Amino acid sequence: MNVALFYALTGAGIFTLGLHGVIIYRHLLRKIMAINIMGSGVFLVLAGLARRVPAGPPDPVPHAMVITGIVVAVAATALALVLLLRLLDVSGSVVLPDNEEE
């Protein structure tokens, strides 16, 4: 197994851990953080796969996608955090309501 593939597999593991967090945590801040961890996993997969070249500098296209993705992830996180604050303002709760409780 080469180094590039090791990074990509690690990225897949981080992505899966993040998805696990999104599912099991009820606190929305934790969910937002878990989604960011998922995103980091995807970036690591892209950066790892870009390194599969035989020699020389890595493939620039996945790197450009990662740069684009980071900025989008930051913007989406900011929007999610403000939505969370708004939910706290309106309902006083930081978790989404359960259907069974209604």
Partner 1 sequence: MSSGGARLARSSRETLPVWQRLLIAALMLALFAGLALALLSLPGQSEGLRQEVAAQLARSGVSHPVTAVLINFRGYDTLLEMAVLLLALVGVWSLAPAAQLRLERAGAVLERLAQLYGPLMLLVAGYLLWRGAHAPGGAFQAGAVLGAAGVLMLLAGRHPAASLTGWPLRLVAVLGLALFAAIAALLLAGGGALLQFPPEHAARLILLIETAAAISIGATLAALFLGGQHGGGAAR
Tell me which residues touch partner 1 (CB under 8 A): 2, 5, 8-9, 12-13, 15-17, 19-20, 23-27, 29-30, 45, 49-50, 52-54, 56-65, 67-68, 70-72, 74-76, 78-79, 81-83, 85-86, 88-89, 94-95
Minimal distance in Å, beta carbon 53 to partner 1? Answer: 6
Q: Work out the angle at residue 31's Cα, subtended by the Cα atoms of residues 61 and 101, and round it to the nearest 5 degrees.
A: 145
**Please, which residue, 36 or 63, has the CB nearer to partner 1?**
63
The Cα-based distances of 1 to 9, 51, 75 in angstroms read 10, 13, 36
93 φ, ψ to 5°?
A: -130, 150
Record the tokens describing residue 76, joined without a space: 């989406």
Minimal distance in Å, beta carbon 40 to partner 1? Answer: 15
